[in-house]
Amino acid sequence: MRLAVCLVLTSQFFLATLATAQADQDANDPTRTASCDFADGKEISVEYNGSVMSEKDQPHSGKVWLPAGSPMTLFSQVPLILNHQELAVGAYSMYVIPNKKDWTLIVSRNVTTPKTYDEKQDLVRAPMEIGGVSGPPKQLQVSFAHIAPRQCSIRLYYESTGAFVEFNEK
């Protein structure tokens, strides 16, 4: 009986330690993912660095911005339409040009490491709607809203600005 109790307590301790280690690893990993499913079950997703940004990583009006020093990565399981341009199934880098009155989302074919910005690699630039948000985040936050069966809106939040643009399934 004592041996059984000892084994149960030891296994509970081991599982608790494993869960704590996993939680610590997740807290230390700044990679975040946002995704949206279309009505047919196909998905688009974005991976991005959710770290609090240093002074050098802050956006500057009119300049290409790499949040937390790296571009976002878009993955699509379906052909997409963004700003009247078709994007094939695949992976892309995404950048943002923030301004006071408007933001622009850039989708680039460059997915090689390091993913430095090269304007010649641009596939599409899309104007984003912007608005003010309360409770400003201290780092970039990305989410999607499924707004129609074949339409997902990407939402970027940084400080007191929210920027939005729609991806349509072809």
- Strand 151-158 vs strand 161-169: parallel, antiparallel, or unpaired? antiparallel
Q: What is the mean pLDDT of residues 144-167?
A: 94
pLDDT band, very low/low/confident/very high, at 16 (cuts 50, 70, 90): very low
Query: Which pLDDT score, from 0 to 100, does residue 94 have?
Result: 95
pLDDT tens digits for 110-137?
888 777 889 999 999 999 999 988 876 7
Q: With bands split at pLDDT 50, 70 and 90, how would you rate the model's confidence at 22? A: very low
Does the pTM surpass 0.85? The reply is no
Task: Supply the DSSP string of 54-119, one letter for each residue.
Answer: PGGGS--TTS-B-GGGS-EEEEESS-EEETTEEE-SEEEEEEEEE-SS-EEEEEES--SSS----G
Q: Are the C-beta atoms of 127 and 116 separated by less than 8 Å?
A: no
